[in-house]
Chain A
Amino acid sequence: MNMPRATVSKILPFSCVDGPGNRLVLFLQGCNFACVTCHNPHTMALCTHCGDCVPACPTGALTLRDGRVVFDPATCTDCDDCLRACPINANPMVREMSLQEVLAVLRENLAFLDGLTVSGGEATTQLKFLVALFSAIRSAPDLAHLSCLVDSNGHLGPNGWARLLPGADGVMLDIKALDPETHRRLTGQDNARVLASARLLQAAGKLEEIRYLVIPGVTDTEPEIAALGAFLDELGAAPRLRLNAFQAHGVRPPAAGWPTATRAEIDSVASRLSQLGVTHIETPTVYL
């Protein structure tokens, strides 16, 4: 059997916003949603080696060799001009990494870590790699204490979760909208699978938190908030709900022109949800 490899967009050795404690975050490339509010749109697609980014690179870090775009990290100055040139929301700087390479990065940073969070893109599009990674962490005595969390949009089906959950400590699940039509407009996909994932994860005791992006005028309407409250009620002992404030930074048009969610708007959503009986609500520390 071929050992799976990961297509990695970025690795951060310090993150205090992707689960409890300090987490190494592995951002995997590729997503099955096309969210108009995405802050990292260059993580959506996989490179097709069209070469459009090559002339955009001011330092020559990108070249075309045998029909493939080749990236030289030593020459790159992190200007991100290539991301702006890419016609399909991909990233020529992604790295293919083996399981052993990812484990080596974890070990280099081990003294500083409480755990690992896989994010994206949509991490579960690289399911085979995640299953192998979590299993390797669980069976390595020096790594077994690390908690393994997954950031997900919830599009993964029940068979996929059945393979992933044995190795995962928890999932932080995005619910973009409760109204199916609004969800489709925001993400390009229906939300039935997302809500099913929430129920499945809750039943498995692996729903670490639900994240809800507050977009003024879109996801903070009375019907949306009422539906969110009702859904959390239906889940029973509801997990932590993290309210994120929509920010235009990094977002592409047309959503780049949408108004930012203010502290007052977030507080209003939180208070309406409290009145509906939602108890465990986290609001942002920082507003831009």
Chain B
Amino acid sequence: MSLDLDTIRKIVTDPTLNPSQKARFLSLEAENALPYPETDPEAAQALAEGVLCDLVEGHAPYKPRYVLPDFSVLLANGSDYLELEPPKTLDEAINCLMIAWHHTPSVTAMPVFIGHLDRLLLPFCEGVTHDDLVNKIRLLWRYIDRVLPDAFLHTNIGPEDNRVARAILQVDAELKQIAPNLTLLYDPESTGETLLRMATDNIAACSKPHIANHPLHAAAFDARGYGIVSCYNALPAAGGAGTLVRLNLHEVARRSEGVEDFLQRALPHYMELQFRLIEARMGWLFERSGFFENFIVEEGWIDRDRFTAMFGIYGMAEAVNMLRGKNGLPGQYGFDAEANALGYRISEQMAAKVEATPVKHAWRGRALLHSQAGISSDLEATPGVRIPYGSEPDPVTHVKALAPHHRFYPSGISEILTLDETVKANPQALFTLAKGALASGFREFTANVAGNDLVRVTGYMIRLSDVEKYRNKEGSRINTTGLGAEAAELTGILERKPRVIGHEYAQGYGQ
């Protein structure tokens, strides 16, 4: 590898990029001029052929892909390195967090997780009026969207109902911004229907927040908890994920004779190669990068032992349809009970192998299976285990077809249910649908409501009006708009019968 001066010149002279966007693409070119972490030829070939995909994480992972700091440590202790006293007022707490986010690394160079904001701020809210609280959150939201404009940047609220969570939902529906992305952790025992209804009413207004099934997620992690970050990734709190490597099941199906050959030979083989690539990337990060000498480790925001490796998969729908075709069986994934059952069988087999396979440096010594939500350049491979865009059944049939997959994917799985605009006149229907989906075992409920400017693409949000501007070559302030525009053109994502759109996957110039 060497630096391609033409590309460097294009980046520095591109009129649609602002200087910091140029700096980021230049840094990626520099990193990728280094050789790839050492792995064996078979895994390297699978990567080159697109059976495996490293999501263009870079050749020299010098920071974990996703970092979920425990910001409560900072708020309780202050920071020696940053010369911050422990905050005493709400203003001081918000100010400390704004500083901390600037020092939170991730694959995007912007934080993907900014904390369980309600839990962090609530202790500082005594004596603060509702109007004051809403005004402070409104300013904080403006700061996040303008200074950290990345749709993968995520905050969590809940599961307990509280005044900060309500104020956040109020401001989020009012401003309808891309950032921050938002998840309500929902627990039927402690959240209550009022807060859930506020959340589903917000979905009708701006297709946010996501609603996470807290009891299911909590059971997959430990007492220190978890956070939902980026595109529906559930990861250990005070840790995160070192890497995310994903397997294109459609490509594995292409390399199979039929159902049994896929399950007995091809899938185990390519999963083995995927583990080798994960080990190579984790090895570089933990043993060579020097990341864990960072002050955020020394001051206890994160713990070196709490980083998992995400074992991603995608293209389930195409894999199932191709395998059934090879066996001469009819029936489409998502619609046919037998086709769906083959999907569940593949998920179950992958989950068993991931749970049984040791991964060095990973939290609990194992990777976590993840149904990966796709990137803008994916063709002929539907995100995760989703039903292909534009051919989804009605939302209830949709949920029932996919719910049995959800228990196999502890580090995240998501479906985007697309609802037509008529639901805005009947938000109770959306509320009941969300409750039904969560009660059916969905780990995550996400819906796009047609007619909203804010639209989810694969897991991240864009504004349709920004895509239009980007297409007209005006450039966009938001780093993920380019991805959304690319996804819209390449993958037909806006065909998802009526449809929300992030930065994580802008992993190189022109990609």
Contacts and interface: CB of A to CB of B under 8 A. Distances in A.
A117 B399 CA distance: 21
B421 A14 contact: no
Nearest to B437: A112
Interface residues of A, number: 19
B426 A16 contact: yes
Interface in A1-53: 12-17, 20-23
Given A12-B394, A13-B394, A14-B395, A113 B425 contact: no
Interface residues on B, range: 20 to 34
Tell me which of B423, B430, B436 has the highest count of chain A C-beta atoms within 10 A of its own C-beta. B436
Contact of A13 (B396, B420, B421, B426): B396
Interface string B291-311: 000000000000000000000
A111 B440 contact: yes
A112 B432 contact: yes
B429 interface: yes
Contacts, number: 61
Contacts of A181: none
B254 interface: no
A285 interface: yes
B421 A285 contact: yes
B82 interface: no
B421 A114 contact: no
Contacts of B436: 22, 111-113
Given A14-B394, A14-B396, A114 B420 contact: no
Contact of B425 (A23, A108, A282): A282
B439 A111 contact: yes
Contacts of A108: 400
Contacts of A20: 426, 428
Contacts of A17: 422, 425-426
A264 interface: no
A163 B426 CA distance: 30
Nearest to A12: B394
Interface string A113-143: 1100000000000000000000000000000
B45 interface: no
B210 interface: no
A16 B396 contact: no
Nearest to B425: A285
B420 A286 contact: yes
Contacts of A282: 425
A285 B432 contact: no
A211 B432 CA distance: 25
Given A14-B433, A285-B421, A21 B426 contact: yes
A268 interface: no
B396 A112 contact: yes
Contact of A16 (B399, B422, B437): B422
B217 interface: no
Contact of A114 (B395, B399, B422, B432): B432
A109 interface: yes
A22 B429 contact: yes
Given A111-B435, A111-B436, A111-B439, A285 B422 contact: yes
B397 interface: yes
A22 B431 CA distance: 9
Contacts of B397: 13-14
A13 B419 CA distance: 14
A267 to B, nearest CB: 16
A237 B435 CA distance: 34
Given A12-B394, A111-B440, A21 B422 contact: no
Contacts of B424: 285
A285 B450 CA distance: 11
A21 B396 CA distance: 13
B191 to A, nearest CB: 17
Q: From A13, A15, A113, name the one whose CB has the most chain B CB atoms within 10 angstroms.
A: A13
A114 B428 contact: yes
A109 B420 CA distance: 20
Contact of A112 (B419, B421, B426, B433): B433
B432 A21 contact: yes
Interface string B410-426: 00000000011111111
A108 B400 CA distance: 10
Contacts of A15: 429
A22 B433 contact: yes
A29 to B, nearest CB: 20
A108 B440 CA distance: 11
Interface of B: 394-397, 399-400, 419-426, 428-433, 435-437, 439-440, 451
15 contacts: A13-B394, A13-B397, A14-B433, A16-B419, A16-B426, A17-B422, A22-B429, A22-B433, A109-B396, A112-B432, A112-B437, A282-B425, A286-B420, A286-B422, A286-B451
Q: Closest 6 interchain pairs by CB?
A: A112-B436, A16-B429, A13-B396, A21-B428, A111-B436, A22-B429
